[in-house]
Amino acid sequence: MEGNFIYHNPTKLYFGEEAMSHLGKELKNYGPTVMLSYGGGSIKRNGIYDAVVAALKEAGKNIVENPGVMPNPTYEKVLEGCRLVRENGVDLILAVGGGSTIDYAKAVSASAYYDGDAWDHYWVHQENPVCQTVPVGSVLTMVGTGSEMNGGSVITNRKAGFKLGKVFGPGLYPKFTILNPRFTMTVPHYQMVAGFFDIMSHLMEQYFAGHADCTTDYLNEGLMRSLIHSTRIAAKNPQDYEARANIMWTATWALNTLLKCGKGGDWEVHQIGHAIGLVTDATHGMTLASVSLPYYRLVMHDGLHQFVRFAVNVWGVRPDGKTDEQVATEGLECLEAWMKEIGVVTHSRELGVTDQNIPAIADAALILPVGYRTLTRDEVVDILHQSM
């Protein structure tokens, strides 16, 4: 463990097939008016909406409907939520959906009572809002972002022309989250495996940094090994409860701040992935998958010890009689084989990347001066070419 850090994660998790049965008791901790934030109609088709509304009615709550939260929630939509909160004196925002919906609920919570331009507030403020906030609870229906147990919130401001990723402090983490693995089973196959890779990417982004021996890396290896095992099963049989349950739990712990304790992180794959998403509108997890192999093949030489460790401890590569470079390379071959097995995109041209739009993507990719190597713009271009 290097340096000094604070770990504080007060989110209460209810896990399992019966997790929803706790919602009624949990709702007693909050006032009478609950804003129900959700996306499209999928939760109405699969019965989750009805179950949540039944629990709210049983608890005697007034429901303020706030549907239509989009996959990339906009600032305009945040303002709509803020208005609903103020007009109705909302006591709890209950987000039902995936990471986007929970991100949105946090943004509304932080902004609703700010006396001024909420976007400025949202952007400028370092960690915790200075105004009154509204408690957020969540019912998770798609795994990946970890928003159910962290302070992350990504909002798109079309006027300003960019997406803004915020990480709030524990005061804005969901107070509680309902995690029922069955709720994730109706996600379409493409989105499901994209989510699987998103989780793996969160793990790798935090793993590939640092030179010290750190307990955090051992925990990360455990989560990677569990994820690899369970995604192999779930990709073939999405209805396998045990596998989906393990994946749901892994996703939550992959990004709830535990895995950054006592070490740095990388996050460059996410920067290039976001840039691809901005230009092509491709699914987030797939953009990460498309560039991970060329990226890691480049930085492997700078963080060789960790790539050797990745090969041996995560993939079971035997190092006997091989050079470190050979072992590390074999580890990345195992990663590639797993990606093909679960069926994620390994070529960015499948996502709409072309020789023509590579310069625009490279321009949009933020280069972070952390991890094992700080890329040059030329290297970003090279990675994108190799990713095609």
* Interface residues toward a copy of itself, by CB under 8 A: 1, 3-19, 22, 170, 181, 212-216, 218-223, 225-226, 229-230, 242-243, 245-246, 248-250, 253, 261-262, 313
Q: How far is the CB of 372 from a copy of itself (least distance, A)?
A: 20
Task: Say whether 77 sits in a helix, a strand or coil.
Answer: helix
Task: Say whether 230 sits in a helix, a strand or coil.
Answer: helix
Q: Which is nearer to a copy of itself, 15 or 113 (CB)?
A: 15
Q: Which is nearer to a copy of itself, 205 or 268 (CB)?
A: 205
What contacts 315, CB < 8 A, 6 or more positions away?
228, 330, 331, 334, 335
Q: Which is nearer to a copy of itself, 4 or 132 (CB)?
A: 4
Q: Which is nearer to a copy of itself, 12 or 125 (CB)?
A: 12
Q: How far is the CB of 12 from a copy of itself (least distance, A)?
A: 4
Q: How many CA atoms lie within 13 A of 219 on its CB side?
A: 17
Q: How far is CA 9 from CA 22, 26, 61, 207, 301, in A?
A: 20, 18, 27, 20, 35
Q: How far is the CB of 223 from a copy of itself (least distance, A)?
A: 7
Of 298, 303, 301, 302, the residue nearest 382 (C-alpha): 298
Q: How far is the CB of 318 from a copy of itself (least distance, A)?
A: 9
Q: How far is the CB of 219 from a copy of itself (least distance, A)?
A: 5
What is the distance between the alpha carbons of residues 232 and 238, in angstroms, rounded to a whole number? 10
Q: How far is the CB of 221 from a copy of itself (least distance, A)?
A: 6
Of 338, 335, 339, 317, the residue nearest 326 (C-alpha): 317
State the sign of the Cα–Cα–Cα–Cα dihedral 91, 182, 13, 286. negative
What are the tokens at 91?
Answer: 């006591």
Q: Which is nearer to a copy of itself, 145 or 220 (CB)?
A: 220
What is the distance between the alpha carbons of residues 167 and 169, in angstroms, rounded to a whole number? 7
Max Cα-Cα span within the chain = 70
Q: Which is nearer to a copy of itself, 87 or 213 (CB)?
A: 213
Q: How far is CA 148 from CA 12, 170, 217, 255, 349, in A?
A: 10, 12, 22, 9, 32
Q: How far is the CB of 293 from a copy of itself (least distance, A)?
A: 24
Q: Which is nearer to a copy of itself, 261 or 278 (CB)?
A: 261
What is the distance between the alpha carbons of residues 268 and 258, in angstroms, rounded to a whole number? 20
Q: Tell me, what DSSP letter sits at residue 313? A: I
- The one-letter code for the residue type at 300 is M
Q: How far is the CB of 309 from a copy of itself (least distance, A)?
A: 11
Q: Which is nearer to a copy of itself, 216 or 280 (CB)?
A: 216
